[in-house]
C-alpha cells in the first residue's frame, strides 16, 4: 500500500486532510509536533483523531519554538486577539503567525517521509478562508516542492516526495462539507488558539471555523464559550 505522512495538528483542516488521504487509499503516518504552543489541547485532539482511525504509527514529537517570541502562539507575553466578528480581521499578517512554522514542519515531515518510504506529505494548508499566513500560500508550497526535489535523496534519485494540499483552494464551508462527506471525527478536533474545556469563539481561528459550519448549513459539534 502507498504510504504518506500527514501533518496532523488536531484541528479541522488537518483532520479533514487526514481523512482525505485515507479515502485515497494511503497508509497514513500522522506527524504531530509539540512546538511550544501556548496550550496542549490540540495535541490531545490529534491523538484522539489518530486513535479514532486505528492508525498504527502516529509520530508525536517535541520541538521547542518558544524562542520565537513575536508570535502569540509561542509566547505568553503576546495576547491572542479576540474579535467581535470576522469583519474585525485586518489584511495584515496577524500576531498568531509563527515564523517559518510550515517550513520547519514540512522539513521534519520530509525526513519522516523518506524514513518510512512514503511518496507524499499531506498538509492542511488553506489559502482562502485563512489568517493571511505566508506559508499557507500556493507559491510557498510550490517552492518547497522544489526544495524536496533537489534537497533529498528521494528527489535526486528521481523519486521526489510530493507535497499535497487538497484543501488549499477551498472555503471553510467547503472544507466542513468535505469533512462531513468523509465522516471525519469533527467532534474530536480543536481549532481554538486558546486552551480550555471550551473553544473561546472569539479568536480568528474560531470565527473562521464557525463561519465555515454556518455557511455549510451544519452545527459545529465543539462547545464554545461564546459565538457570534
Report d(CA 32, CA 55) in Å as an integer: 13
pLDDT in tens, the chain (228 residues): 899 999 999 999 999 999 999 999 999 999 999 999 988 899 999 999 999 999 999 999 999 999 999 999 999 889 888 876 666 666 688 888 999 999 999 999 999 999 999 999 999 999 986 667 899 999 999 999 999 999 999 999 999 999 999 999 999 999 999 999 999 999 999 999 988 889 999 998 999 999 999 999 999 999 999 665
Summarised one tens digit per residue, pLDDT across range 177-186 is: 999 999 999 9
Report d(CA 37, CA 214) in Å as an integer: 28
Return the pLDDT at 38.
Answer: 84
Report d(CA 189, CA 10) in Å as an integer: 5
Return the pLDDT at 130.
Answer: 63
Summarised one tens digit per residue, pLDDT across range 159-193 is: 999 999 999 999 999 999 999 999 999 999 999 99
H-run or E-run covering 151: helix 138-151
Report d(CA 175, CA 219) in Å as an integer: 14
3-state secondary structure of 122: strand
Strand partners for 33: 61
The CATH code of the domain at 3-215 is 3.40.50.620
Report d(CA 130, CA 83) in Å as an integer: 15
Return the pLDDT at 184.
Answer: 98
Return the pLDDT at 93.
Answer: 86
Amino acid at each position: 500500500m502507498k504510504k504518506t505522512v500527514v501533518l496532523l495538528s488536531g484541528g479541522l483542516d488537518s483532520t479533514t486532510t487526514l481523512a482525505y488521504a485515507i479515502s485515497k487509499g494511503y497508509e497514513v503516518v500522522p506527524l504531530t509536533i509539540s512546538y511550544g504552543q501556548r496550550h496542549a489541547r490540540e495535541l490531545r485532539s490529534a491523538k484522539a483523531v489518530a486513535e479514532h482511525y486505528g492508525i498504527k504509527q502516529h509520530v508525536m514529537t517535541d520541538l521547542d519554538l518558544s524562542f520565537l517570541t513575536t508570535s502569540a502562539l509561542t509566547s505568553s507575553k503576546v495576547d491572542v486577539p479576540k474579535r467581535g466578528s470576522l469583519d474585525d480581521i485586518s489584511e495584515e499578517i496577524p500576531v498568531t503567525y509563527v515564523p517559518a512554522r510550515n517550513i520547519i514542519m514540512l522539513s521534519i515531515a520530509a525526513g519522516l517521509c523518506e524514513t518510512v518510504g512514503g511518496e507524499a506529505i499531506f498538509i492542511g494548508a488553506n489559502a482562502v478562508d485563512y489568517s493571511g499566513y505566508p506559508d499557507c500560500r500556493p507559491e510557498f508550497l510550490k517552492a518547497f516542492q522544489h526544495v524536496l526535489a533537489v534537497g533529498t535523496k528521494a528527489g535526486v534519485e528521481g523519486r521526489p516526495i510530493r507535497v499535497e494540499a487538497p484543501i488549499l483552494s477551498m472555503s471553510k464551508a467547503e472544507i466542513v462539507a468535505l469533512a462531513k462527506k468523509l465522516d471525519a471525527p469533527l467532534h474530536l478536533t480543536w481549532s481554538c488558539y486558546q486552551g480550555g474545556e471550551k473553544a473561546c469563539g472569539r479568536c480568528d481561528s474560531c470565527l473562521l471555523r464557525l463561519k465555515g459550519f454556518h455557511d455549510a448549513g451544519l452545527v459545529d459539534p465543539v462547545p464554545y464559550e461564546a459565538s457570534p
